[in-house]
């Protein structure tokens, strides 16, 4: 068959359109995070600059951090996301269960360049944040001095809000019962220690308002439904700086944690996911998040890139580590988390 010049041009055009179509699919990256001010900050610090630099379209999704949602995707073979933010308390569980991919750090950054505990097999750190206590001084006239004041209902009567999750609450319960921070996980790793933590939580159970989403603590304080609340430091600082709320943060006995990001098994664009991870793991880029929400970088060489006005507000600022604090033990929660979640949910139902 004779191929005319017109037909050749038509074939070339069709091939070009097919290539464009394939490129469009390849250059779409779906990221699922936990919403609110934190996701807004990621959008400004990372999503939008990465998209502008690479031409990649970022598709955002939100969830409450429930690993079960990701497991359902993986189990059915329908994984519409490429990256998912996860907590240190759940990333090891997801790794052991085969829900998350084991990361190749040669495609991201040298593993030794991250703060200890923030570069795990199946999750790489995004930021360092503090589980803190917050209150409104216009409502609570006497200032609490420790997160453990949650358990002092005589000195601080009224409702207090805590996250509906065992991590952090069990550690604080043991510290409020006299366990030194250095011994918390050793004690919590025993049946007697678990019983002791729940017994301490029993003392305030009727006074607790439970929260699930990170935006709720500031809302509960603003509506005066509670006199104090646990929270992620950046959400409260955002309410102070952006919404001009009069809230105060109590750093003493904070629990220091890392937000992580992972690739779920079966992700449709793993190469593009790695490209994004490498981008946000560059020290100058890792530091950018602190300009939009007061969470610290996880790269050991990123501090010099943090905006000067953000540094004093970070959870790992020297002043905020001067008192008692606890670094969350990711391995502990990887080993015991599933059982403790079941125990916590049963306790809630009692």
Mean pLDDT for the chain overall: 91
Beta pairing partners, 119:
124
Closest CA to 84 of 34, 27, 31: 31
pLDDT value of position 334: 82
Domains for the chain: give ranges and CATH numbers. Answer: 2-128+258-318 (3.40.190.10), 129-257+319-349 (3.40.190.10)
Q: Which pTM does this prediction carry?
A: 0.81
- Reported as a single tens digit per residue, the pLDDT across 137-181 is 999 989 999 999 999 999 999 999 999 999 999 999 999 999 999
- Asked if 44 and 237 count as a contact pair (C-beta separation under 8 A), the reply is no
- Reported as a single tens digit per residue, the pLDDT across 84-93 is 999 887 888 8
Beta pairing partners, 256:
130, 327
- Asked if 226 and 208 count as a contact pair (C-beta separation under 8 A), the reply is no
CA 281 → CA 45, 159, 225, 258, 275, distances in Å? 12, 40, 39, 14, 10
Beta pairing partners, 229:
134, 161
The DSSP string of 134-194 is EE-TTT-SSPP-SGGGGG-TTTS-S-EEEESSSTTHHHHHHHHTT--GGGHHHHHTSHHHH
b/e sequence 193-206, b meaning 16+ C-beta within 10 Å: bbebbbebbeebee
| Those residues with Cβ within 8 angstroms of residue 298's Cβ, 6 or more apart along the chain or in another chain | 114, 115, 118, 119, 125, 126, 127, 128, 258, 286
Cα first-last separation, the chain: 80
| Those residues with Cβ within 8 angstroms of residue 16's Cβ, 6 or more apart along the chain or in another chain | none
| pLDDT band at 36; cut points 50, 70, 90 | confident
- Asked if 337 and 268 count as a contact pair (C-beta separation under 8 A), the reply is no
**Quick one: average pLDDT of 69-73?**
94
Residue 214 has pLDDT above 60, yes or no: yes
| Those residues with Cβ within 8 angstroms of residue 296's Cβ, 6 or more apart along the chain or in another chain | 127, 128, 129, 290, 306, 314, 315, 316, 317
pLDDT value of position 141: 85
Residue 274 has pLDDT above 60, yes or no: yes
Residue 331 has pLDDT above 90, yes or no: no
Closest CA to 150 of 139, 159, 138: 159
| pLDDT band at 21; cut points 50, 70, 90 | very low
pLDDT value of position 8: 42
| pLDDT band at 22; cut points 50, 70, 90 | very low
- Reported as a single tens digit per residue, the pLDDT across 225-266 is 999 999 999 999 999 999 999 999 999 999 999 999 999 999
């Amino acid at each position: 068959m004779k191929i005319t010049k017109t037909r050749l041009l038509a074939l070339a055009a069709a091939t070009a359109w097919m290539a464009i179509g394939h490129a469009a699919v390849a250059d779409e990256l779906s990221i699922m995070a936990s919403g609110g001010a934190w996701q807004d900050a990621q959008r400004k610090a990372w999503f939008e600059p990465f998209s502008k630099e690479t031409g990649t379209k970022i598709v955002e999704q939100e969830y409450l951090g429930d690993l079960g949602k990701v497991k359902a995707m993986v189990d059915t073979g329908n994984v519409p996301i490429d990256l998912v933010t996860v907590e240190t308390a759940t990333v090891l569980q997801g790794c052991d269960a085969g829900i998350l991919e084991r990361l190749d750090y040669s495609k991201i950054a040298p593993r030794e360049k991250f703060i200890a505990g923030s570069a795990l097999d199946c999750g790489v750190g995004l930021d360092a944040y503090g589980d803190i206590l917050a209150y409104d001084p216009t409502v609570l006239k006497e200032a609490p001095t420790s997160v453990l004041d949650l358990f002092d209902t005589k000195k601080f009567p009224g409702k207090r809000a805590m996250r509906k999750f065992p991590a952090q609450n069990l550690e604080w319960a043991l510290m409020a019962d006299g366990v030194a921070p250095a011994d918390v996980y050793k004690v919590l790793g025993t049946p007697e220690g678990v019983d002791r933590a729940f017994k301490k939580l029993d003392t305030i159970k009727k006074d607790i308002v439970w929260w699930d989403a990170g935006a709720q603590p500031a809302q509960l304080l603003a509506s005066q439904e509670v006199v104090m609340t646990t929270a992620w430091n950046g959400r409260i600082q955002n309410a102070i700086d952006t919404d001009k709320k009069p809230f105060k943060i109590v750093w003493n006995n904070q629990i220091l944690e890392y937000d992580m990001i992972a690739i779920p098994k079966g992700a449709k664009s793993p190469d593009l996911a790695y490209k994004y991870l490498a981008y946000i793991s560059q020290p100058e880029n890792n530091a950018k998040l602190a300009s939009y929400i007061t969470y610290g970088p996880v790269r050991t060489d990123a501090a010099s890139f943090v905006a000067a006005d953000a540094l004093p507000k970070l959870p790992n600022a020297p002043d905020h580590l001067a008192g008692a604090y606890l670094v969350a033990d990711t391995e502990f929660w990887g080993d015991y988390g599933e059982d403790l979640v079941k125990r916590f949910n049963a306790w809630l139902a009692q």
